[in-house]
């Protein structure tokens, strides 16, 4: 019997399981519900600034989930990069392009039913893939920590360097595009005077 299987058998014998969750599991579930609610409000609100602020709540909830999974480094990266940088970039883009602050009828394309069907299908496919991939995987909670900075850094810079750099170039292009769009509006207004 492998150590992971022995640890799982010990946990089941100790009474830990689906019907008797620990405090961490309950907190994980509650934070997940709040994060899901914030994500739904993010995509359903008609006010762009409110959507950006609800996105902060959703991304912050994901950071809390990482903390509950004892992946502290990933949690702080989530806060610094996504909550700090991406949302600030999004808000600067909204301000520089002079997007409407209040309700915007242009923000609704009328395709909500189709979007809902696609979202539910994508969520079901994602849940099915994750459950199928990790069905027989057991995590040894008594073994070495997997979310440490060293392990995460080795994985990031060994396997994920290209997507990481591509994302930074994409964010830079979005910022430059926002500046160009705001400059076009300024030059048109000055030419009409």
pLDDT of residue 190: 52
Give the other-Cβ count within 10 Å of 12's Cβ: 10
More confident residue, 140 or 171: 171
Comparing C-alpha atoms, which of 53, 58, 67 is closest to residue 35? 58
Write out the DSSP string of 8-72: HHHHHHTT-BTTB--HHHHHHHHHHHHHHHHHHHHHH-S-HHHHHHHHHHHHHHHHHHHHHTT-H
Q: Is the dihedral of CA 90, 96, 97, 100 positive or negative?
A: positive
Average pLDDT over residues 140-153: 68
Q: Is the pLDDT of residue 8 over 70?
A: no
- What are the pLDDT digits (tens) for 84-97? 887 777 777 777 77
Q: Is the pLDDT of residue 4 over 50?
A: no
- What are the pLDDT digits (tens) for 114-128? 888 998 999 899 899
By percentage, how much of the chain surpasses pLDDT 70? 72
Burial of 91 (0-12, 13-18, 19+ CB in 10 A): middle
More confident residue, 3 or 171: 171
DSSP letter, residue 81? I
pLDDT of residue 65: 92
- What are the pLDDT digits (tens) for 20-43? 778 888 899 999 999 999 999 988
In order of 16, 20, 140, 150, 180, the CA distances from 144 in angstroms are 21, 25, 8, 12, 49
pLDDT of residue 35: 95
pLDDT of residue 132: 86
DSSP letter, residue 87? H
């Amino acid at each position: 019997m492998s150590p992971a299987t022995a640890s799982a058998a010990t946990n089941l014998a100790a009474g830990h399981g689906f019907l008797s969750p620990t405090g961490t599991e309950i907190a994980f579930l509650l934070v997940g519900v709040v994060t899901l609610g914030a994500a739904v409000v993010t995509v359903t609100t008609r006010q762009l600034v409110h959507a950006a602020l609800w996105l902060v709540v959703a991304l912050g909830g994901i950071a809390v989930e990482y903390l509950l999974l004892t992946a502290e480094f990933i949690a702080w990266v989530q806060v610094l990069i996504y909550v700090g940088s991406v949302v600030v970039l999004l808000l600067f883009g909204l301000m520089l392009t002079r997007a409407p602050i209040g309700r915007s009828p242009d923000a609704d394309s009328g395709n909500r039913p189709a979007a809902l069907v696609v979202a539910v299908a994508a969520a079901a496919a994602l849940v099915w893939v994750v459950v199928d991939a990790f069905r027989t995987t057991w995590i040894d909670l008594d073994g070495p920590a997997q979310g440490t900075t060293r392990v995460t850094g080795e994985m990031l810079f060994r396997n994920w360097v290209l997507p990481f750099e591509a994302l930074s170039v994409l964010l830079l292009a979005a910022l430059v595009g926002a500046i160009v769009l705001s400059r076009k509006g300024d030059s048109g207004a000055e030419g009409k005077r």
